[in-house]
C-alpha cells in the first residue's frame, strides 16, 4: 500500500506540463486548415485551467494533443520531462492508459459494460484498481443505485457522473475535460462540475478543461483564451 501511494505521489509530482510552439493543421476540402499556431503553455501539478474560446478556436485539438490522441505537426508536449509527441503509437497508448483521464461532452462510456464495470475499467487498465476508492467515488457522485445499469439506460447527467467516476477512479495525474457539461442543463452542469473540481482537487490531479462558458471558467484557478489557434 505504501509503495502504491508513493507511486501515485511520484506521478503527480512529475505532472508538470509544458507545451512549446505547438502547431497543428488539417487537410480539408477547402485546403489546409491551421488549427493551432505556436501554442506555448505551462501547467503546474494540481493546477486547474480553463481553456476558453469560440467554436473552431482549437480547444478540442489542443486537448487531443495533450491527451496523446493525436500528434502535433511541430512543437513539443513535455509532460514530467518527457516529450510525448515523440512517442510511438504504443508509447502514447501507455501514456493515456496510466497518466491521463479524459472526460468528453458525449460521455463516451463503454456501451457494452454496466456502470460498475465502466467505473472500474480505466483503473484496471492503469493497474490502479482500488474498490474502496471506487466505492467512495460512487457514493460522492450519487450513482450507487445505477451500478448494474448500462449507459443507454442512463440520463445525460447520470452518464457524465459515471464518466467522471471512471476518470477519477484511475487517479490520473492529468484530467482533460472537453465541454464536460455541454450536454447537461445548467443545474446539472453546475453540480457535475462542482463534483469534478472537488474530486480532482482531492486527488491532486491537474485539470485542463475546454469550455465555451465564461461562467464555468471562473470556477477554475486560471483561464487561457484561444482565438484562431493562438493564446490571447
Partner 1 sequence: MTTWTVATALLSHWRRRPLQFGALLSGLALATALWSGVQAINAEARASYTRAAVVLDQNGLANLVSSNGSSVPQSAFVRLRRAGWNVSPVVEGDYRFGTTRLRVIGIEPLTMPAEAQTIDLGNAGDLLSFISPPGTLVVSAGTAEKIRGQTDLALRVSDRMLDGAAFVDIGLAQRLLRRDGELSRIVVAENQRSGLEPLEKLVPTLSVREPNAETDVEHLTESFHLNLTAFGLLAFAVGLFIVYSTIGLAFEQRRPTFRTLRCLGVSLRVLAVLLLAELVLFALAAGAVGVAIGYLVASLLLPGVAATLEGLYGASVPGTLSLRPEWWVSGFAIAVAGTLVSSAQSLLRLTRVPLLAAAQPQTWGRSWQAGRRFQVLAAAALLALSGALLLWAEGLEAGFGVLGCLLLGASLLLPTVLSGFLTVMQRTSSRALVTWFWADARQQLPGLSLALMALLLALAANVGVGTMVSSFRLTFVGWLDQRLAAELYVAARNEGEADRLRTWLATKVESVLPISSVDAEIRGQPMQIFGVVDDPTYRKHWPLIVGLPDVWDRVASGQGVLVNEQFWRRDRLRIGDQLDLASDWKSTVVGVYSDYGNPKGQVIAGINALTSRYPQVSRLRYGLRIQPDQVADLRSRLSDEFGLPPDNVVDQAALKEQSRRIFDRTFLVTGALNIFTLGVAALAMFSSLLTLSEMRLPQLAPVWAMGITRRDLALLELLRTLVLWLVTFIAALPLGLALAWVLLAVVNVEAFGWRLPMHIFPYEWVRLGLVVLAAAVVSVFIPLRRLAGLAPSDLLKVFANER
Nearest residue (CB) to partner 1, 122 versus 171:
122
Nearest residue (CB) to partner 1, 47 versus 179:
179
Contacts of 144 (CB under 8 A, 6+ apart): 138
User: Site residues for partner 1, window 187-226 (CB under 8 A)?
Assistant: none
Among 29, 30, 81, 89, binds partner 1 (CB under 8 A): 89
Give the binding range for partner 1 (CB under 8 A) out of 15-23, 97-105, 136-144, 218-226. 97-105
x/- mask, partner 1, residues 53-72, rule CB under 8 A, reads --x----x---x--x-xxx-
Nearest residue (CB) to partner 1, 37 versus 64:
64
Among 35, 122, 165, 209, binds partner 1 (CB under 8 A): 122
Nearest residue (CB) to partner 1, 39 versus 120:
120
Number of residues in contact with partner 1 under rule CB under 8 A = 38
Note whether 30 binds partner 1 by CB under 8 A.
Answer: no
Distance between CA atoms of 158 and 59, rounded to whole angstroms? Answer: 25
Note whether 106 binds partner 1 by CB under 8 A.
Answer: yes
Contacts of 125 (CB under 8 A, 6+ apart): 97, 170
Among 98, 188, 213, 228, binds partner 1 (CB under 8 A): 98
| C-beta separation of 169 from 189 below 8 A | no
In the bound complex, what is the minimum distance in angstroms from residue 42's beta carbon to partner 1? 25
x/- mask, partner 1, residues 145-184, rule CB under 8 A, reads -------x-------------------------xx--x--
Note whether 93 binds partner 1 by CB under 8 A.
Answer: yes
Three-class HEC string of the chain: CHHHHHHHHHHHHHCCEEEEEEEEEEEECCEEEEEEEEEEEEECCCCEEEEEECCCCCHHHHHHHHCCCCCCCEEEEEECCEEHHHCCHHHHHHHHHHHEEEEECCCCCCCCCCHHHHHHHHHHHHCCCCHHHHHHHHHHHCCHHHCCCCHHHCCHHHHHHHHHHHHHHCCCCEEEEECCCCCCCHHHHHHHHHHHHHHHHHHCCEEEEEECCHHHHCCCCEEEEEECCEEC
* Binding stretches for partner 1 (CB under 8 A): 26, 55, 60, 64, 67, 69-71, 89-90, 93-98, 102, 104-106, 108-113, 117, 120-122, 124-126, 129, 152, 178-179, 182
Amino acid at each position: 500500500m505504501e509503495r502504491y501511494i508513493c507511486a501515485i505521489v511520484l506521478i503527480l509530482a512529475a505532472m508538470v506540463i509544458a507545451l512549446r510552439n505547438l502547431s497543428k493543421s488539417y487537410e480539408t476540402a477547402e485546403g489546409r486548415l491551421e488549427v493551432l499556431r505556436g501554442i506555448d503553455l505551462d501547467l503546474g501539478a494540481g493546477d486547474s485551467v480553463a481553456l476558453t474560446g469560440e467554436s473552431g478556436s482549437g480547444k478540442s485539438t489542443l486537448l487531443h494533443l495533450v491527451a496523446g490522441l493525436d500528434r502535433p505537426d511541430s512543437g513539443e508536449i513535455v509532460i514530467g520531462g518527457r516529450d510525448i509527441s515523440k512517442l510511438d503509437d504504443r508509447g502514447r497508448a501507455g501514456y493515456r492508459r496510466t497518466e491521463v483521464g479524459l472526460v468528453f461532452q458525449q460521455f463516451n462510456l463503454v456501451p457494452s459494460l454496466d456502470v460498475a464495470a465502466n467505473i472500474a475499467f480505466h483503473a484496471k487498465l492503469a493497474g490502479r484498481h482500488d474498490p474502496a476508492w471506487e466505492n467512495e467515488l460512487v457514493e460522492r457522485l450519487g450513482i450507487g443505485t445505477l451500478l448494474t445499469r448500462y449507459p443507454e439506460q442512463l440520463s445525460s447527467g447520470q452518464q457524465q457522473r459515471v464518466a467522471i467516476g471512471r476518470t477519477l477512479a484511475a487517479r490520473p495525474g492529468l484530467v482533460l475535460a472537453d465541454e464536460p457539461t455541454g450536454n447537461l442543463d445548467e443545474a446539472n452542469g453546475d453540480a457535475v462540475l462542482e463534483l469534478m473540481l472537488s474530486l480532482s482537487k482531492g486527488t491532486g490531479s491537474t485539470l485542463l478543461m475546454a469550455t465555451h462558458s465564461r461562467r464555468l471558467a471562473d470556477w477554475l484557478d486560471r483561464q487561457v483564451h484561444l482565438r484562431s489557434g493562438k493564446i490571447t
